[in-house]
Amino acid sequence: MSDRPTEGFNKTLDDPRLQLAIYSATKRLMDHRANAIEPSRLPDYQQLRDHANHIKKHTIEHLDYYLEQLETNLIAHGGKVVYCRDGAEVADFVLGVARDRDARLIVKSKSMTTEEIDLNDGLERGRVETVETDLGEYILQLAHQHPYHIVAPALHMTRYDVAEIFAKNLGVPNEVVIENQTKIARAVLREKFLKADIGVTGANFLIADSGAVVLVENEGNARLTTSAPKIHIAVAGIEKVIPRAQDLGVFLNLLGRSATGQPLTVYTSFLSGPRRASEIDGPDEFYLVLLDNGRTKLLADPEKRQSLYCIRCGACLNHCPVYRKIGGHNYPWIYSGPIGAIITPQFHGVSEDSWLPFASSLCGACAEVCPVKIEIPKVLLKLRAEVTQAERREGRGGLERFTFVVWAWIMTHPKLYLALARIGSKLAPLAPNIGPLRNWAREREVPRIASRSFHQWWARRERAKPHPQ
């Protein structure tokens, strides 16, 4: 595996304020989730997970069919569907619309998909201002940072950090009261909503049989983003499609609970095309951008393609003891935590940042809480094997591979194992500074090899037994 980013790790690990921020925020989300799925509140939680898994499996295996159905139904409502191969194509499309309509201001609601393709950077090329309207995302945009967490993008920041960022960027006095901070953001953002020409959102679900985009949120900013400007562009990964409106109940029951412990988020919006003659609000134009950006590559592997089931609830991050130590920004991509560890190598190739699938104790907490039952540890193991295979092809990782070949030889030759173990027990106290032992000893005391192994104890006991006459 490639070198882990030790500098970033240590910076995060050695910052007690940051450690506390991560630990307490994730703990709060964990507790809320546990509360929300209690059997007295949601007796069929496990059946819902099974059901969600089956729907996702079925949809991903028939993705072409459902995408076509979605497209047909959305066009029938007066919307337009655009397929984009990558982020550059999305930026080109949005900039093209902005140019044609002489748009100056774009408001955005929270979307990991547009973060994935760095859409804001892509839009900087045009003469158009882009403003994030989710409070956390707005703070991050001002601070020029990427999201720390899939659901809580500014999870790592305290209100004191926010006060500083607002004072520096908005010319307001240092304000540390959270309610007042939201009022400051609200005043700025209201103006933006009213002036915006285009609203860009992501999508939580795309419903094939009704040609609808579903957005869930708590702040109401997505609702304003999709109704105030004349043009709405929703950007969604192709895996977001589900077959029927009636399937949505399964996912809405799971998403809010898994993410924040809410039975439902504050707002759930169903958007199917532009404003109709009989409607009082809504955009004049409605576009759904369906993004590939590598997703079709993931479809090829029957085992690993379950990674596309993810509904971005963030529960795996909150429950991951590794994420809770290293935080979000040490992951190489905007998808952090366990889900990031399985999708990043599949999008970018296993040879890039190949330490990532190894950065897990395989404790399984992620899979236990995943609402769509993605077998994350199993996919991690597959990816680890792919990393070592790639290293072999590229002529790297020889020492480790050789070590495991020798190790397997020893472990399949018991006499050799026993002989080496006896030598090892004598040498161990002298050698705490070689290879893996040094890394062990950095953090902990080295265990003493027993002076008498169980094998030896057993052999002696057998010899001491009285033999039957």
Partner 1 sequence: MKRVSLFVTCIVDQVFPEVGIAVTEVLERLGYEVDFPAAQTCCGQPALNSGYPDEAARVARHFLDIFRDAEYVVVPSGSCASMITHHYEEIFEHDAERAEQIRRLTPRVWEFSRFLLEVARVESVGARFKGVVTYHDSCHGLRELGLKAGPRRLLANVEGLTLREMEAAEECCGFGGTFSVKFPEVSGGMARTKIESIRKTEADAVVSVDSSCLMQLQGVMRRAGVPIRTLHLAEILASR
CB of 460 to partner 1, least distance (A): 11
Contacting partner 1 (CB under 8 A), which of 414, 419, 426, 460?
414
Contact 218, 266 (CB under 8 A): yes
396 binds partner 1 (CB under 8 A): no
Nearest by Cα to 103 from 243, 305, 285, 309: 285
Contacting partner 1 (CB under 8 A), which of 88, 361, 429, 431?
361
463 binds partner 1 (CB under 8 A): no
CA angle 214, 215, 221 (to 5 degrees): 150
190 binds partner 1 (CB under 8 A): no
CB of 450 to partner 1, least distance (A): 5
Spatial separation of the C-alpha atoms in residues 295 and 85, rounded to whole Å: 10
174 binds partner 1 (CB under 8 A): no
* Region near partner 1 per CB under 8 A, out of 170-178, 197-205, 245-253, 408-416: 408-416
**DSSP code of residue 296:** H
401 binds partner 1 (CB under 8 A): yes
Q: Considering beta carbons, is residue 202 or 327 the nearer one to partner 1?
A: 327
444 binds partner 1 (CB under 8 A): yes
CB of 389 to partner 1, least distance (A): 8
Whole-number Cα distances in Å, 51 to 63, 64, 203, 206, 375: 18, 21, 21, 18, 15
Contact 357, 139 (CB under 8 A): no
Spatial separation of the C-alpha atoms in residues 12 and 331, rounded to whole Å: 12
Contacting partner 1 (CB under 8 A), which of 20, 266, 362, 427?
362
Residues with Cβ within 8 Å of 86's Cβ and at least 6 positions away in sequence, in order, are 117, 291, 292, 293
Contacting partner 1 (CB under 8 A), which of 65, 160, 270, 404?
404
Q: Considering beta carbons, is residue 62 or 422 the nearer one to partner 1?
A: 422
426 binds partner 1 (CB under 8 A): no
String of DSSP letters for 19-64: HHHHHHHHHHHHHHHHHHT-TTT-TTHHHHHHHHHHHHHHHHHTHH
Spatial separation of the C-alpha atoms in residues 79 and 106, rounded to whole Å: 19
For partner 1, what does the binding mask look like between residues 12 and 51, x meaning CB under 8 A? -x---------x----------------------------
* Region near partner 1 per CB under 8 A, out of 59-67, 193-201, 203-211, 399-407: 399-407
Contact 432, 406 (CB under 8 A): no
Q: Considering beta carbons, is residue 87 or 261 the nearer one to partner 1?
A: 261
Q: Considering beta carbons, is residue 182 or 388 the nearer one to partner 1?
A: 388
Q: How many whole angstroms from its chain centre is CA 208?
A: 24
Q: Considering beta carbons, is residue 393 or 444 the nearer one to partner 1?
A: 444
249 binds partner 1 (CB under 8 A): no
Give the count of alpha carbons within 13 A of 67, CB side only: 19
